[in-house]
Structure 1
């Protein structure tokens, strides 16, 4: 894995802190943008079976010409495939569509049935079969994060959740640290809402940076992995240009202070579970 950009290490696995997300990208756009993102310098690509673009992502990786060993690739198992047997078949399907073995395979959302014991057992079995190099979670509150790790033989490298300046994640960040894991932020730019934020814009002016660049910098300075998505080459390049400045402690706190109770944008969690309360 290339060390030319900041990374977080979990269980001896190095994960680049800035990745490229592909949610809502049509297959052709995913192929184009993944190849372009890798040309720009990204070395972490995120997709999922439910995005219906794994083929495009795999093609984009091959189009890029970047050595596979220098790319960290994540995909996810959808909730309908959590049963033992179904999960392993779904993981094999992702490998076939990608044309590559992912570095990280995540459970996309927590689900009360089948049991965590069954689902985590199947996820570990997929890893043992060589269908992924590592495993993790997505959208798991702290209680379920702890339960999942307690029944998993392998380390859960990350928990991918919504995180941006308008949503406090202090309890879940503390849980990840306690478990020796990490947090990956989806919708890190609050789906564009940060673009007009006066506080973030003011901080950006001090550094000659855009609100998006400031927000991504705020995330990676917390050792949070960020996976912004865009269909525009220029925006992908802008998002990557965050390694030449540092936010002060005061600036970090000003951005943290933007969190609000109604800050969550995407809430599709099963009603059996509850988000952490800050």
Structure 2
């Protein structure tokens, strides 16, 4: 197993199971350096968004890496104030232009806000049918948002990227996505480091000679969840990728599941409307 391991989406597209998230990385030197170091380490999945305002830097790093485009999996997202049919088509063109690439591997609706996500989804369906994006999906959608979207959709979402970590173990949502062949993807998988001192994580880190962060990322993978930890530090990026020489037992996975406290770092999707 390695960073080249993939999850297969409903339409057959292969999505690397571990990627690099670039939220809050500054455009320019910081994000260029971070993406290039990740690509040097073997990462092939980069996750950005128009809201992050660093798509140009991501694109520059891709260009300078000289890695063939078809070996990369690039995700970006349409922000809340860009939603709507025509608005989304224009937002997509802006993102593609900033990234300097000819197609996207995955395009996501960033949040289910403003009552426009169905119009936005129609635009994503068009982009998908036109071959401009290999897969389409959503972020931060709960079951009721997904059901509302799916009932009128021609193409079902292939990915749902949500906040997911041991203190927010969204078990019911994960099961719903599994039953509907929607790949769940974790943002903030490490909970921004807020609970690394949990006893079970320390115990397992000692047992496997790993860090608490590595234990959590392995927990994601063994749940079948794609994970995109953020780090601009090359050594940390290497640690986040060093997940393939150990396996958690079913009992250990259950012990980590029990860290769930319904604690969110970000907004609750039903309460975020800006």
TM-score w.r.t. structure 1 length? 0.92
Single out whichever of 65-74 and 97-106 deviates more from structure 2: 65-74
* TM-aligned CA deviation for residue 154 of structure 1: 2.3
Report if the CA contact (8 A) 1:137-1:159 is conserved. Answer: yes
2:107 pairs, out of 95, 105, 108, with 105
Query: Residue in 1 aligned with 2:264?
Result: 264
* Alignment partners' CA distance in 1, 2:3 and 2:227: 17
What pairs up with 1:147-186 in 2 under 5 angstroms? 147-186=148-187
Query: Residue in 2 aligned with 1:12?
Result: 12
1:37 counterpart = 2:38: yes
**Runs ≥4 in structure 1, deviation > 4 angstroms?**
none
SS at match of 1:185: strand
Report if the CA contact (8 A) 1:76-1:108 is conserved. Answer: yes
* TM-aligned CA deviation for residue 272 of structure 1: 8.3
* Alignment partners' CA distance in 1, 2:68 and 2:43: 12
RMSD of aligned residue pairs (Cα, Å): 1.8
* TM-aligned CA deviation for residue 6 of structure 1: 2.5
Query: Residue in 2 aligned with 1:114?
Result: 116
What pairs up with 1:126-275 in 2 under 5 angstroms? 126-261=127-262, 263-267=263-267, 269-271=269-271
Q: Deviations over 1:105-154 (max 9, x none)?
A: 000000242262x2211221222334322110000011111222332222
* Alignment partners' CA distance in 2, 1:268 and 1:254: 25
* Alignment partners' CA distance in 2, 1:214 and 1:83: 40
SS at match of 2:158: strand
Report if the CA contact (8 A) 1:120-1:151 is conserved. Answer: no
Kindly tell me: are residues 196 and 272 of structure 1, through their superposed partners in 2, closer, same or farther at Cα, counting changes over 3 Å? closer
* TM-aligned CA deviation for residue 201 of structure 1: 1.2
* Alignment partners' CA distance in 2, 1:19 and 1:253: 25
Report if the CA contact (8 A) 1:112-1:272 is conserved. Answer: no
SS at match of 1:230: coil
* Alignment partners' CA distance in 1, 2:3 and 2:172: 31
TM-score w.r.t. structure 2 length? 0.93
* Alignment partners' CA distance in 1, 2:7 and 2:201: 25
Kindly tell me: are residues 115 and 255 of structure 1, through their superposed partners in 2, closer, same or farther at Cα, counting changes over 3 Å? closer
* Alignment partners' CA distance in 1, 2:253 and 2:174: 15
Unpaired segments of 5 or more residues in structure 1?
A: 274-278
Q: Deviations over 1:24-56 (max 9, x none)?
A: 000121111111101101111100000000011
* TM-aligned CA deviation for residue 82 of structure 1: 1.3
Kindly tell me: are residues 268 and 71 of structure 1, through their superposed partners in 2, closer, same or farther at Cα, counting changes over 3 Å? same
